[in-house]
Amino acid sequence: MILGKIYKSFRLGIIYLNDFNQTVLKRLIAEKNLEFIPLFEAKPHVFVGRENPLTKKKSITLEDLEDYPYLSYEQGDTNSFYFSEEILSTLQSKKHIQISDRATIFNLMVGLNGYTISSGIISSELNDEKIVAIPLEIDDSMILGYLKNKKIDLSKIAKDYLELLKQHIRNYGFEIYE
């Protein structure tokens, strides 16, 4: 996500804020005349392939991850870790592979026993139940929400999307901020 390039024309964007990125992102959000509307809070989860040995654990520590490849999305020209799609993106790892698309990251989770760290919400419709989310034992959380331009009302399709998104989130047992 690069706020500087998209703020004028976009209608809706989904991001997270946490203790690490919120100061920088809130400043950029305000500068670009955007508004962040929180949806819910989530604890970090590790996404791994269903056959990964880590799936035998009820929760995972950072030490448990040391011998597995860390997978993250490539962030483009700015490559700022404040814009990372993965929480805890600045942690050091022995093996780190940057990916440019969802299909590849899922394939590497399965094929290489790689992992990434996210909210814990994953769609079985998108990954055919090959990926599972396991809670990460860490004192951190993420507030997930959406961005909108303060000067432009959301379109009907954006509002419909938000309602579907909220229902999907509720289906995972999260309470939506209203």
Q: Is the dihedral of CA 3, 101, 172, 66 positive or negative?
A: negative
Which of 84, 63, 62 lies closest to 72 in space, CA to CA? Answer: 84
pLDDT (tens digit, 0 to 9) for every residue of the chain, 178 residues total? Answer: 444 444 444 578 888 898 888 888 899 889 989 999 999 999 999 999 999 999 999 999 999 999 999 888 765 555 454 445 455 555 666 787 778 777 787 888 888 999 988 888 887 666 668 889 999 998 889 899 999 999 888 988 989 999 999 998 998 888 999 7
Which CATH architecture best describes the domain 44-135? Answer: 3-Layer(aba) Sandwich (3.40)
93: left (phi over 0), alpha (psi -120 to 50) or beta: beta
Within the chain, all domains assigned CATH 3.40.190.10 are found at: 44-135
Tokens, residue 84: 């990372």
What is the C-alpha to C-alpha distance for residues 103 and 80, in angstroms, rounded to an integer? 23
What are the beta bridge partners of residue 149? 34
Q: Considering the entire predicted model, what is its pTM?
A: 0.77
